[in-house]
Structure 1
Amino acid sequence: MGHPAEHSAAEKTKGHGLFALALGSVGVVYGDIGTSPLYAFREALKPVAHDGVTQMEIISLISLMIWTLTIIVTFKYVLFLLRADNDGEGGTLSLLALMTKGACGHRAVLMLLGLIGAALFLGDAMITPALSVLSAVEGLKYVSPHFESAVLPISIAILVALFAIQSKGTGMVAKFFGPITAVWFLVMGGIGLVHIFDDL
C-alpha cells in the first residue's frame, strides 16, 4: 500500500494531465467546431444582406446551426460512427476495410466509395484550416478598416506557423492552440452573454 503523500501526488499529477488533455482538445478538436460557424454564418446571410439583416433571420439561422450541430453529433457520431469500428479503428479507410471483408462481388464499388470518401476528407482537411483562420482574422477589419490589408498576411503567417508546429506532432499544436482557443471561446461567450438580452 502506497504512502498517502505519494498517492496524493499521483492524484495531482493525474488531475494536471487530464486538464492538459482537455485544454489540448479545445485547441485541436473544438477549435474547428468553434470557428466553422463563423464563415458559415456569414455566407448564409449574404443572400439577404444587401437590404439589411433582420432579427428574425439571424435567430432563424442560429437555430438552424444549433439543431444541425446537435443532430449531426447525436445521430451521426454518437449513435452511428462510435458503434462502427474495425477492431477499434475508425475512419473512412478503416471502415472500408471492414466492409470489404464481408463483400462478395461489390469490392470494386466499395473501393470506389472509399476513395471518394477519402478524397472528400482530404479536401475538407485542406480547405478548413484556411477558411477557419481567414474567418477569424477577418474580424480585424470590423475593428478598423486599416486592418483590412493585413488580414491576408496575418492569416498566411498563422497557417505557416500552424503547419510548422504540426510537423512536431499534434501534441505541440494542442499546447499552442489550446489556451488560445479557450480564451477565444471565453471572450465570445462573454460578449454573447452581455448582449443576449439587448433585443428582448
Structure 2
Amino acid sequence: MTEVKHHISDDFLIGYAAGSLPAAFDLVVATHVSLSDDARARLHAFDAVGGCILDEMDEAPLAQDSFSKTLSLINESAASESTSSQNQTRSEDGIFPAPLRDMIGCDLADVKWRPIGMGCKQAIISEGKDATARLLFIPAGQAMPRHTHRGTEMTLVLQGAYRDETDRFGRGDIEIGDETMNHTPVAEAGEDCICLIATDARLKFEGLLPRIAQTFLRI
C-alpha cells in the first residue's frame, strides 16, 4: 500500500466531483485518488453531497430516446471496464495506476520520451486550450531548473521522490504550485523520479537557457 503524506485539497476534489476541472487536472486528481485512501474517502463524501443536491432539484423532461441511449452508454462502459481489467492484468508489475494507464494505453516501458536536457525527459499526454498533462522523468540526484509559475502546477509522484524548499514528495504525494511558489525540485539519489504533471500556464524559469528552450519544449 502506498503511504501518501501530501494529499489533494478539498477544492480540487470538489471541482473533480462537479466536473469543473480541465481534463489534464482531472487526470492527475483521478490518479492521485487511486493511490490515496484519504482522498478517495473525501471524494466519496463529496459525490454523496452532490447526489443529495440532485435529489432536491426539479425534474426535467426526458427525450424519447433517453432510455435507449442510456443502455448504449452502459454497454460501452461495461466493455471499457473489461478492457481495463485485461490491461491491469497485463501491467500488474507496472508503476502507472489504472486512470493513467487507461488514458495513455501503456505503462512505463512503452512511454515515448523526449529529452529536455540534463538527462531529464518528458512525454506530453494531452494539450488543451485550458491545461496540459505530461509525464516527467528526472534522473536520480538531478535538480530541475529553479522556477516559479504563471498559473497552477499540479505534480503527482509515481516513482522515486523529490525534495524542494517546502518538503519531500514520494509516490502518491501531490504538490500544488502557484504564482507564490519559487522552487528547485531535486530528485532523491537511488531511484529515478517520475511524475505526472498538469499545468494551466507556462512555467517561469530564472535561468536564461531554460527560458530559451521553453518555447521548443512547450513547458
Do the two structures share a fold, i.e. TM-score over 0.5? no
**Which of 1 and 2 has greater Rg?**
1
More helix by share: 1
Q: TM-score, normalised by structure 2?
A: 0.23
Q: TM-score, normalised by structure 1?
A: 0.24
Q: Tell which has more relative contact order, 1 or 2 (C-alpha 8 A, sep 6+).
A: 1
